[in-house]
């Protein structure tokens, strides 16, 4: 199968998906938004905790960045 055929098939499939998709209602949108915000907060907290832990351990062994 040529790459142009694959590309055409991909866009046909995407068109089908978009035709079936519906705009979310207000409550559904709020729930989705809330889950995304919670995900960002969790990811940020985990990243901060990991950086803090690594920095603390490196400073204990005198290899820290200061």
Of 30, 48, 29, give the one whose Cα is nearest residue 40.
48
- The more confident residue out of 64 and 26 is 26
Is the distance from CB of 55 to CB of 65 less than 8 angstroms? Answer: yes
Tokens of 48: 């901060």
pLDDT, residue 66, reads: 58
pTM attached to this predicted model = 0.61
Average pLDDT over every residue of 24-28:
91
Check pLDDT > 90 for residue 24.
no
Is the distance from CB of 55 to CB of 64 less than 8 angstroms? Answer: yes
pLDDT, residue 62, reads: 83
């Amino acid at each position: 199968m040529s790459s142009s055929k694959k590309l055409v098939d991909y866009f046909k499939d995407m068109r089908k998906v978009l035709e079936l998709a519906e705009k979310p209602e207000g409550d559904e949108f709020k729930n989705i938004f809330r889950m995304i915000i919670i995900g960002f907060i969790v990811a940020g907290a985990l990243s901060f905790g990991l950086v803090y832990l690594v920095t603390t351990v490196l400073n204990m062994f005198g290899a820290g960045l200061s």
